[in-house]
Structure 1
Amino acid sequence: MTPIAHRSGMSVAGLLVAGGCIAGPAAVAQTAPADVATVAPGGAPVASAQPAALTGQVGAVDRGRNRLAERTLGVEYQAQPNFYYCGPAATRIALSSQGKALSQDELAKRLGTDEAGTDSALDITRVLNELTGGGYETVEIRDPVAKPAQVDRLRAHLLDALDVDRPVVANVKGTAVDTEGDPHSYEGGHYLTLVGYRDGGDLVRIADPAAPKGGYWMTLEKVANWIAERGYSA
């Protein structure tokens, strides 16, 4: 697939974020932090990618915080109907957890999806915010392999989001193997939805609009490395 610069435009903050189902690497404005950039809905980097405080849902202790050890959201799964609708399909799965059932065609219009895919994780964040009242931000993992701090930050964002019934939409690239040993390969890029966790976030439940079985579990570290050089909406 062609590089991101051939597909995505520059935001007001100078951010380029990779898209999918077919897309390339991302680059971020120099003012952003060195390892992870968080981008507000309007496109401007914010000072920190620290997650919002958790409210409610007290359960097992995870890394010193009161958490549920396991949680999977109820979503309506719908497979993508063609090779380039992964963005609309993943967004629809995320929205279904809040009772919103827009068609993939309607979401494709909102996202600007065409046969080259959905340009940017920023588009996913924008549409999620338009339809949920806000709160989603775009977070990028810049490195080709996620650093431990980036893995931990993804865990924090994922648990914070899922504990308030908000699935995370991730932009991935390459091949990753799930807990059953099945490989999932998207060399051109792909959007999918993170809808659950186990073991305090060590395992992540993925609703994949292109997977034959629809969903699978994967370790957090593998998910972070799959997102590497791309981003997620949380």
Structure 2
Amino acid sequence: MRRLLVVAATAVLAGAPALPAAAAAPEAPAQVRVAAAKSLDVDYQVQETGYWCGPAATRIALSARTGDLPSQETLAAELGTTENGTDHISQVTGVLNNRLSGTGSEYSTVEMPDDPPTQEQKDKLWSDIVADIDSGHAIVANIVAPPGNQPPGYPPGQTIYHYFTVIGYDSENMTVHIADPASFSGNQLYWLSFDQLSTLIPPKGYSA
């Protein structure tokens, strides 16, 4: 178990030279456009079994709000996780709310059934990430990563059904900070483009 501290940073954009159109970074939705990068301080653990990604991702999210952390085994029981995994993101939402009851935290389940996602769904995902991270809440995402669209280090040639935790964002280059309990090829904390994240979640959902 390691305590991982990631320092929040603010990007200064004033006076920066204009980039050619072809090199411009993707635009964040206008209603949440901010010039900032922020990541949360979390207690990272690798998942202890091949099917405890849900419990491990939930524990990472809890660690952003409390130091009273249950074991992955306890969370697996609360989530109803079996050798087939954790059935639905709503189970994660329920456990987060139960565990954080009385703290002012309230998670909701957001479905992303359209693959590829609609622009409205992408805008909401980005808005939820910014709002949650800014308020000190990590997001748990249920993803489907097929060959050709996988985060770094994932086994090639396989479709991976998985849970990981979004712990930060950078609005200047539209990336998100991931705490991945699978630790495929040693990739535990890494940055992923927001566009790729938005294609990994459908047709599943996330807790925000």
What interval of TM-score do these two structures reach, taking the shorter chain for normalisation? Answer: 0.7 to 0.9
Which residue matches 2:159?
Answer: 187
Match of 1:151 in 2: 122
Cα shift at 1:200: 5.0
**Aligned pairs, number:** 174
Q: Distance in 1 between matches of 2:35 and 2:75?
A: 32
Q: Which residue of 1 aligns with 2:175?
A: 203
Which of 30, 38, 56 lines up with 1:71 in the alignment? 38
CA contact (8 A) 2:11 2:172 kept: no
Q: Tell me, yes or no, if the aligned pair for 1:60 and 1:67 is still in contact at 8 Å.
A: no
Deviation digits for residues 55-95 of structure 1 (CA, Å, limit 9, x no counterpart) = xxx99897354746110000011000111000000000000
Q: 1:90 aligns with which of 57, 62, 66?
A: 57
For the residue of structure 2 that corresponds to 1:210, the secondary structure is coil
- Do the aligned partners of 1:194 and 1:205 also contact (CA within 8 Å) in 2? yes
Q: CA deviation at 1:228?
A: 0.9
2:16 is aligned to none
Letter in 2 for 1:207: A
Identical-pair percentage: 37
1:218 aligns with 2:192: yes
Distance in 2 of aligned mates of 1:60 and 1:118: 41
TM score, norm. by length of structure 1:
0.68
Q: Deviations over 1:113-137 (max 9, x none)?
A: 1111111101000000001125100
CA contact (8 A) 2:32 2:130 kept: no
Alignment partners' CA distance in 2, 1:149 and 1:183: 30
Where do 5+ consecutive residues of structure 1 fail to align? 1-57
Decide whether the 8 Å contact of 2:32 with 2:127 is kept in 1: no
- CA RMSD, aligned part only? 2.3
Q: Give how far 1:100 is off.
A: 3.1
Q: 1:228 to 1:201 in 2, by over 3 A?
A: farther
Matched, 1:129 2:97: yes
Query: Secondary structure in 1 aligned to 2:131?
Result: helix
- Determine the structure 1 residue equivalent to 2:72: 104
Distance in 1 of aligned mates of 2:51 and 2:150:
22
Change (3 A) 1:137 1:151: same
Higher Cα radius of gyration: 2
**Unaligned runs of at least 5 residues, structure 2:** 1-9, 14-27
In structure 2, do the counterparts of structure 1 residues 201 and 228 end up closer, same or farther at CA, with 3 Å as the change threshold? farther
Contact 1:71 1:197 in 2 (8 A): yes
CA distance in 2, matches of 1:65, 1:199: 9
Distance change (3 Å), C-alpha of 1:60 and 1:223 = same
- In 2, are the aligned partners of 1:171 and 1:227 still within 8 Å (CA)? yes
Asked if the contact 2:36/2:171 (under 8 Å) is kept, the reply is yes
For the residues of structure 2 that align with 1:142 and 1:60, how far apart are their CA atoms? 37
Q: 1:213 to 1:59 in 2, by over 3 A?
A: closer
Could you say which residue in structure 2 is the equivalent of 1:35?
Answer: none
Q: Which residue in 2 is equivalent to 1:27? A: none
